[in-house]
Amino acid sequence: MQIYKVGGAVRDKLLKLQVKDIDWLVVGALPDELSDLGYKQVGKDFPVFLHPKTNEEYALARKERKVAAGYTGFEFDTSRSVTIEEDLLRRDITINAMAEDENGKIIDPFNGYADLKKGLLRHVSEAFAEDPVRILRIARFAARFGFQVADETLVLMKQMVTSGEVDALVAERVWQELERALGEEHPEQFFAVLRSCGALAVIFPEIDRLYGVPQAAEYHPEIDTGIHTMMVLEQAVRLTDDKQVRFAALVHDLGKGTTPKDILPSHHGHEQRGLDEIKTLCARTKVPNDYRDLALIVSEFHTICHRVKEMKASTILKKLEQMDAFRRTERFDQFLQTCEAEAKGRGGKEDSDYPQAAYFKSVQVAASAVDIKPIIEAGMKGPQIAEALRRERLVVIKRVM
């Protein structure tokens, strides 16, 4: 029996990055032998065991064979004869197909280290095409490391899209990979890779439709709505590591993708389309409600935030109420961050100030501080309380404007 570190732990060590999780691989053993040593089996599809002392996961080396569509359609061979090279062969890309033995020796049969130094994401074998999740994973690794996809791998990915293999992706896995990509340093690269192979139109058609849609006159003419969306996402990354804000930045303009061409580039009337598109994407991809709700508010109200300093006190109060900003203060702060990212993602405005956020926040804080107790103590009830509270908040807003 031989034990190896494999996959991401080896890759990140070679990149001199912090190794967070270690994947262990056992070669030359059977399930009963590990059980006799005190390991606890937890894997259902193939044998994975927990170490009796460290509780880390140890998987038996395996070969796999495609038997049905999708990423679950595999049969596994975990016999004692499976070698380390055979196990590494089934992995997705070369930089993940390296191992390290107990003496620190690197096993690298597919030149993963060379690709690591070149910044290339290259498939290990033609079996890459059997699992559509690998398209999402390779896009996510592009988002993490900023690496390029090898030409031959991109060709294979395009073939997977054309063959319909990508259609077998399940919503939960799509969301899992998207959420992880949003937490990376270059999430815009996730979408660039998907678009380059044609998968964006299949997985996220609402985003794909934004490319080629012209922006309003104040934007640079070469920046269409798709490019603008990615620029906004980049600005969100600069501002925060909050993945909900980054998601809201990603989908804030979806309505423009379905706006009739005869009213472009003014985009009048796209707001409701945007809300509908966000709801459709979130329902299909099973996006959590807190992500969806922030995205809907940003889509509906981000232009209001841009113009807030020009508005009357009564209008500002109405918008704060519509956004539930007095109860959901944390979400309102997320909204302001996303609006700032949107304003800065317009080409040449990356380092400009955005005083609207501080102004809107100061108004919200002042209005939130209105004490409801005197209103209740005055004997008011029901709708009277709400109306009196609104009047007091309006007075305060006018005072701070």
Q: For position 10, which CATH number holds?
A: 3.30.460.10
* Domain limit, last residue, from 67, 83, 118: 118
Residue 217 has a pLDDT of: 59
Residue 257 has a pLDDT of: 87
* Domain limit, last residue, from 91, 118, 145: 118
Residue 351 has a pLDDT of: 80
Residue 47 has a pLDDT of: 80
Cβ proximity of 59 and 42 under 8 Å = no
Cβ proximity of 59 and 78 under 8 Å = no
Residue 260 has a pLDDT of: 66
Please identify every stretch of the chain with a pLDDT value under 70, giving residue numbers as ranges. 43-46, 66-74, 216-221, 260-270
Query: Does residue 161 sit within a domain?
Result: no
Query: Does residue 204 sit within a domain?
Result: no
**Tokens encoding 233:** 């996402």
Q: For the chain, how many structural domains are there in total? A: 2
Query: Does residue 334 sit within a domain?
Result: no
Amino acid at the residue 346: R
pLDDT above 70 coverage of the chain, percent: 93
Residue 112 is part of which domain span? 1-118
Residue 311 has a pLDDT of: 96
Cβ proximity of 200 and 212 under 8 Å = no
Cβ proximity of 253 and 341 under 8 Å = no
Cβ proximity of 149 and 190 under 8 Å = no
The per-type count for the chain, helices as H runs and strands as E runs, is 19, 11
Residue 265 has a pLDDT of: 52
* Domain limit, last residue, from 92, 118, 144: 118
Query: Does residue 306 sit within a domain?
Result: no
Residue 305 backbone dihedrals phi, psi, to 5 degrees: -60, -40
Query: Does residue 344 sit within a domain?
Result: no
